[in-house]
Structure 1
Amino acid sequence: MAKEGITHTFAIQELTLPIALDGRDLIGQARTGMGKTLGFGVPLLDRVFDSADVEELDGTPRALVVVPTRELAQQVGDDLIRTAAETPVRVTTIYGGHPFEDQVQALARGVDVVVGTPGRLLDLYQRGNLKLDRVAILVLDEADEMLDLGFFPDIEKILEALTHSHQTMLFSATMPGPVLTLARTFMTQPVHIRAEDVGASQTHATTKQVIFQAHRMDKPAVTARILQATGRGKTIIFSRTKRTAAELADDLAARGFSVAAVHGDLGQGARETSLNAFRSGKVDILVATDVAARGIDIDDVTHVINYQTPDDPMTYVHRIGRTGRAGHSGTAVTLVGYDEINKWKLINDEIGLDTPEPPQWFSTSPELFEALDIPEGAQEQVGPARKVIGGARDRARSPRSGGRGEGRSRGRRRH
């Protein structure tokens, strides 16, 4: 880990490591971006490699990490692979949108730790390709997001398959009732750890929040000005719908910005291309829908823009949690449409932001330029038109994936 520049623990890691290494069940609660992955990843790998109560490695899984989205599966899998680089522990990542055959072959070759999304994991288990009878450690990561995406029935079936004694760790940013019920049902006297004060804000203290009303027709121009703010680096722009994400990405690219898009109309390959371009810095703007962007774990995002007001308070928290991560400062901007003000008031009241009536600003308003440190003279056009990564051509060529993988849109279940 020192080779990766990781030499100090975050609060959630410091609190969970001793308990997790001891093999006890635990619930870890901390806001997104505060180090939960290594909070469970380090003790998981250590126990799989060298714990007396975990059977010797024989090519069948000893640990299972369940996450809500493909993108988070990739992030967690990559983190565990890097952390286990000096050990013989084999880590495989499994999610929908990729051929079954490749994943079946990977399991057949032998694997010690499996990271995956609920639907594809359950499919492979029911087909007999994924063996769960030797799993000694189970991790449910981002449990509240799995609840929101409607995966709890699949989660319960996976949990019911683990009839033998094992350690369970559940990590989540929030703890709604159904998540606590799941914990009580399937965990043994778990220790509940909160890596923050009980009354702490649900958003990062290092994140500056700027909220104002913007006319729907003026939002593209407003966004173009925001993207010229002093010190702006990697930026994620959230929209509610796939159509808005695609249209906004095209609009910004036409204005000369370097843009990638991630939304449900893209196949898995195109989504990975867009995310990799954003991670590597090939583009510095990612336009995304909520579901497509869940699990994007990039520490150097300086700005998040809510192009459309989120549907609920937790979506707002998760969106702006993409910036101000791991001690970095960040800026979260929310453009409240004139028809979205009632939706905003509910978010404001729930989170306690003290901005029930955001001011009305336009793309030419001095207040906008001052609040976000936008240079005078910033124009709507910044250069020649560019191509969107994840644009129309990628949408046209996107293949449909088979199986129950997370490539298809699922209905949002309310519990």
Structure 2
Amino acid sequence: MNNTKFNELGLNEKILRGIEDMGFEEPSQIQAQVIPVVLEGNDVIGQAQTGTGKTLAFGAPMLNNLIKENNVIKGLVLTPTRELAIQVNEELVRIAKHTRIRMLPVYGGQSIDRQIKAIRKGIDIVVGTPGRVLDLIRRGVLDLDEVQFLVLDEADEMLNMGFVEDIEEIINNCNSYRHTLLFSATMPGPIKKIASKYMKADAKHVSIVKNSMTVSTVDQYYYEIKQKDRFESLCRILDVDEPDTSIIFCKTKRGVDELVESMQRRGYNVEGMHGDMNQSQRLNTLKKFKDEALDFLVATDVAARGIDVENVTHVINYDLPQDTESYVHRIGRTGRANKTGTAYTLVTAREYSVLKQIEKATKGKIKRKEIPTIDDIFNVKYGHILDNVKDILEGDTYKRFIPLATELDDDYNLVDVAAALMSMVYQNEVSFDYTEHSIGAKSSYVRLFINVGRKDKLNPKLLLQFFNKEANIYKESVGDIDLLDKFSFVDVVEDDVDTLIRTCSGKKLCGRKVNIEVSTRSRKK
């Protein structure tokens, strides 16, 4: 981790405010190295893995230096998949929050007429997949003569998916004085050829070497949640696990304050740490935590850097970190001194692909756990109450209350009295006013490869009809569909994958014998 601050990189105030609103306290390694180079006007080849913060690395300086002109496209970002196009666009929108720069994602599977209408109204930056971008160019809708920035994101993936010719045609439609930014995890020959042919000779090469990141003493789990249930999910987890000493990580300083306040209102012994607190506050809080006067410490990544506490049993990622390296630093706070630790991460369905990237980088397995139900919570608390009652019965301190119990025996069944007293204790034991038995999100998606594509006249409607007819699987179980020329990718709810592969493989679709298998290419951030 570096100690550089975003305000030291040369970004203007509007971009810095957008980054601050996103909650990032300091740049990742690739951001710290790439942003100043792009701001100076250089072409850049960035070699870094997914999950290192590349979007902000190219997005912040592009937005910073972009010169707006009415109804003129000034920036184009190419991505291999529509998921990535959507996610990159969303992050650029957040970075540009305090500017008037307008973005538009374009990709197959969405109405091209709607995208054409939006472009004609006036867009500054287009983020899209090569196929759809090329279609818009050929229709005369997308004019790239005045493009100031061209970004090729995950260039090696675009190469693997057969987009090289499309990319070259798109580049040839751009002006020669543009800035070109190429990002790729690997640098195979064809990518080097593109860089050599279409980028300036003095392009800067920034390579972020990824160290092997393993955390062998930490058991890693994730809970798939609904965004609206994030806090209740945390309470349910804490009520069942009852960790001794835990660090809970939030992405933003505001998030730390809000979570601490919510937890304190529900009786948790918790305090927070973040960069806006003065040194004495942080030291005082850290001392309490080390002395085990606090059960929970809620912190941002930067504030937690100086924490060195051996007996942390759990690390909980309330929010996902900015990059994989931060995840490893976080969970490394537990499992120390030859002890086993536990790391929990809360993710929404949209964040699941980021989690899989982290899992790949850490070379470990992050196992799924179900959010506890009310029965799960009751059973844990019931066990504690029963143990406490047995301990009291083995002593004699309870005997002073026998007259009161005898008095109640005149009007009530003593079993009912005992149950009422246990109910009172139970209400004090739980932290949340739970109403729904279960709040778990639906099953995660699994990415599948299918050997049928656009050239076979396949479209999403035909694919969904095929799944329904052959496997009795409905569109509610299907997520994103990416149709390529010779093959396709589709996200299917985990619970239906085995059935779909078993019943659909070998059947005919668009005149071809179908082969379906779990894809080795994860959904992209």
Aligned residue for 1:233, secondary structure, equals strand
Scaled by the length of structure 2, the TM-score of the pair is: 0.43
- Verify the 8 A CA contact 1:207 1:324 in the aligned structure 2: no
1:40 to 48, 58, 62: 58
Partner of 1:232: 221
Q: For the residues of structure 1 that align with 2:441 and 2:181, how far apart are their CA atoms?
A: 45
Scaled by the length of structure 1, the TM-score of the pair is: 0.54
Q: Which amino acid counterpart does residue 91 of structure 2 have in structure 1?
A: D
Q: For the residues of structure 2 that align with 1:26 and 1:64, how far apart are their CA atoms?
A: 15
Pairing of 1:58-207 with structure 2 (within 5 A): 58-189=70-201, 190-196=203-209, 201=211, 204-206=212-214
Pairing of 1:43-58 with structure 2 (within 5 A): 43-48=61-66, 54=67, 56-58=68-70
Spell out structure 1 runs of 4+ moving beyond 6 A: 389-394
Aligned residue for 2:105, secondary structure, equals strand
Q: For the residues of structure 1 that align with 2:95 and 2:135, how far apart are their CA atoms?
A: 28
| Aligned-pair CA distance for 1:101 | 1.1
Q: Which amino acid counterpart does residue 47 of structure 2 have in structure 1?
A: Q
> Which digits, 9 at most, give the CA deviation of each residue in 1:143-198, with x for residues without a partner?
010011111110010011113311000001111111000100000121111122xx
Q: For the residues of structure 2 that align with 1:104 and 1:395, how far apart are their CA atoms?
A: 34
Structure 1 residues 166 and 282: CA distance shift in structure 2, 3 A: closer
Partner of 2:328: none
- Report the structure number with the largest CA radius of gyration: 2
| Aligned-pair CA distance for 1:131 | 1.4
Structure 1 residues 31 and 231: CA distance shift in structure 2, 3 A: closer
RMSD: 3.5
- Verify the 8 A CA contact 2:223 2:346 in the aligned structure 1: no
Structure 1 residues 280 and 138: CA distance shift in structure 2, 3 A: farther
| Aligned-pair CA distance for 1:121 | 0.3
Q: For the residues of structure 2 that align with 1:64 and 1:127, how far apart are their CA atoms?
A: 17
> Which digits, 9 at most, give the CA deviation of each residue in 1:101-120, with x for residues without a partner?
11011101100011000000
Structure 1 residues 324 and 80: CA distance shift in structure 2, 3 A: same
Aligned residue for 2:364, secondary structure, equals strand
Partner of 1:3: 21
> Which digits, 9 at most, give the CA deviation of each residue in 1:177-225, with x for residues without a partner?
11000100000121111122xxx55xx514669xxxxxxxxxxxxxxxx
Q: Which amino acid counterpart does residue 78 of structure 1 have in structure 2?
A: E
- Verify the 8 A CA contact 1:206 1:324 in the aligned structure 2: no
| Aligned-pair CA distance for 1:59 | 2.2
| Aligned-pair CA distance for 1:134 | 1.1
- Verify the 8 A CA contact 1:144 1:175 in the aligned structure 2: yes
Structure 1 residues 4 and 106: CA distance shift in structure 2, 3 A: same
Structure 1 residues 180 and 282: CA distance shift in structure 2, 3 A: closer
Partner of 1:266: none
Q: Which amino acid counterpart does residue 38 of structure 2 have in structure 1?
A: A
- Verify the 8 A CA contact 1:30 1:194 in the aligned structure 2: yes
Q: For the residues of structure 1 that align with 2:116 and 2:87, how far apart are their CA atoms?
A: 21
Aligned residue for 2:45, secondary structure, equals strand
Pairing of 1:16-415 with structure 2 (within 5 A): 16-48=34-66, 54=67, 56-189=68-201, 190-196=203-209, 201=211, 204-206=212-214, 231-234=220-223, 281=347, 296=353, 298=354, 301=355, 304=356, 321-323=357-359, 331-332=364-365, 396-397=474-475, 407-411=482-486
Q: Which amino acid counterpart does residue 118 of structure 1 have in structure 2?
A: P
- Verify the 8 A CA contact 2:146 2:175 in the aligned structure 1: no
| Aligned-pair CA distance for 1:322 | 3.9
Q: For the residues of structure 2 that align with 1:114 and 1:16, how far apart are their CA atoms?
A: 21
Aligned residue for 1:407, secondary structure, equals strand
Structure 1 residues 410 and 322: CA distance shift in structure 2, 3 A: farther
| Aligned-pair CA distance for 1:409 | 3.3
Partner of 2:522: none
Partner of 2:492: none
Q: Percent identity?
A: 36
Q: Which amino acid counterpart does residue 173 of structure 2 have in structure 1?
A: A
Partner of 2:394: none
1:13 to 15, 31, 42: 31
- Verify the 8 A CA contact 1:61 1:111 in the aligned structure 2: yes
